[in-house]
């Protein structure tokens, strides 16, 4: 994936074990994963807009953080991790979406998604 693009996901601050993270989750429900990004990765992932190539992301980070060596392999690992969990617009996410949507549309009954929360469970 040469120009990674984050999907419409939620990002919110979180502290765990005394460390600060940015948690990512999918409000659309295509993945139940919640990923915790260390603060140091926020600047990297912020460039996953579908406009910046991995080479441009690497160059941008090198300019911002003189002396820091962010390798293509480092960026590729982040891309792979986000894609594996369904947080990027990608061919693998398109397959995931088709599978989830197909299962939903093909179901003869659907569970009440807000039972026990917005209204009583029966």
Which residue blocks in the chain are alpha helix, DSSP H? 39-45, 54-64, 72-84, 91-106
Residues of the chain with pLDDT > 90, as a percent, come to 70
3 state SS of 37:
strand
Q: pLDDT digit string (tens) for 45-92?
A: 999 999 999 999 999 988 888 877 888 999 999 999 999 999 999 999
Looking at residue 122, what is its pLDDT?
66
Least confident of 10-19, 25-34, 73-82, 113-122: 113-122
Q: What CATH number is given for 10-106 in this structure? A: 3.90.930
| Amino acid 112: pLDDT | 76
Region of residue 66 (left: phi > 0; alpha: psi -120 to 50; beta: else): beta
CA distance linking residue 122 with residue 69, whole number of Å: 57
Q: What is the DSSP letter of 91?
A: H
The C-alpha atoms of residue 60 and residue 70 are separated, in whole angstroms, by 10
Q: Report d(CA 50, CA 88) in Å as an integer.
A: 10
What percent of the chain clears pLDDT 70, i.e. is strictly above it? Answer: 98
Q: Where are the domains of the chain?
A: 10-106
Report the range of poorest mean pLDDT among 1-5, 13-17, 46-50, 113-117.
Answer: 113-117
| Structural contact between residues 88 and 2, judged by C-beta atoms closer than 8 angstroms | no
pLDDT single digits (tens) 91-116: 999 999 999 999 889 988 877 777 77
Sheet containing strand 35-38, strands side by side: 10-16, 19-25, 35-38
């Amino acid at each position: 994936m040469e120009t990674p693009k984050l999907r419409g996901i939620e990002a919110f601050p979180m502290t765990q074990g005394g460390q600060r993270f940015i948690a990512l989750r999918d409000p659309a429900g295509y993945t139940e994963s919640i990923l915790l990004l260390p603060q140091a990765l926020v600047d990297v992932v912020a460039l996953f807009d579908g406009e910046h190539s991995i080479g441009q992301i690497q160059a941008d980070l090198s300019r911002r953080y003189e002396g820091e060596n962010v390798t293509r392999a480092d960026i590729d690992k982040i891309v792979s991790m986000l894609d594996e969990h369904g947080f990027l617009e990608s061919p693998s996410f398109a397959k995931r979406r088709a599978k989830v949507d197909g299962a939903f549309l093909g179901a003869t009954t659907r569970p009440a998604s807000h039972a026990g929360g917005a209204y009583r469970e029966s």
